[in-house]
């Protein structure tokens, strides 16, 4: 009887681990190591396979990228940012900070019909441009905002 109980428990444990393994494989596929480990802004953008960017101010004013971030951040360890894309068919929003040790902060993907809006807190090492890249179809649109950091957040 003990062997059957053991086999039942073992089978249940293995079955429970299958979704975890599938999730781990999915994360490995979506993790862009070269982009996240880049130490320069251009390297991170190259790692994301972005070749051409169009400034969002060059398209219709109603179809732009809105960045809400402080002009002056008192503490670079906690800088709240809000990003809204008014660009039709937005698929993802990528956030980069040029003068951070690793410029790529993150990429946020959106499913069909999801509101392309991100609010998060980031760390900033020093005064820098906060750069946002929006992917819509096969095009990339960009906007940026200068943030002055009064107290260093990355150390």
- What is the Cα–Cα distance from 147 to 43, expressed in whole angstroms? 21
The number of beta carbons lying within 10 Å of the beta carbon of residue 73 is: 23
Determine phi and psi for 86, rounding to 5 degrees. -100, 15
Contact yes or no for 91/110 (Cβ under 8 A): yes
DSSP string, 11-39: HHHHHHHHHHHHHHHHHHHH--HHHHH-S
Q: What is the pLDDT of residues 12-63, one digit of tens each?
A: 665 666 565 555 555 555 667 888 888 999 999 999 989 888 888 777 777 7
Q: What is the pLDDT of residues 72-115, one digit of tens each?
A: 999 989 999 999 999 999 999 999 999 999 999 999 999 877 89
Residue 91 has a pLDDT of 93
Q: What is the mean pLDDT of residues 140-147?
A: 95
Residue 100 has a pLDDT of 92
Q: Would you say the pTM of this structure is higher than 0.85?
A: no
Contact yes or no for 47/34 (Cβ under 8 A): yes
């Amino acid at each position: 009887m003990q062997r059957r109980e053991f086999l039942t428990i073992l089978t249940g444990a293995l079955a429970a681990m299958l979704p975890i393994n599938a999730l781990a494989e999915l994360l490995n596929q979506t993790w862009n190591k070269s982009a996240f480990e880049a130490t320069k802004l251009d390297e991170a953008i190259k790692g994301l396979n972005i070749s051409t960017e169009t400034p969002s101010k060059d398209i219709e004013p109603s179809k732009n990228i809105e960045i809400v971030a402080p002009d002056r951040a008192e503490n670079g360890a906690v800088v709240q940012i809000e990003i809204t894309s008014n660009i039709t068919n937005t698929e993802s929003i990528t956030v980069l900070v040029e003068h951070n040790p690793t410029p790529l902060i993150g990429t946020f993907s959106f499913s069909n019909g999801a509101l392309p809006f991100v609010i998060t807190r980031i760390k900033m090492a020093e005064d820098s441009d906060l750069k946002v890249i929006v992917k819509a179809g096969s095009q990339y649109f960009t906007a940026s905002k200068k943030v002055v950091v009064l107290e260093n957040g990355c150390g």
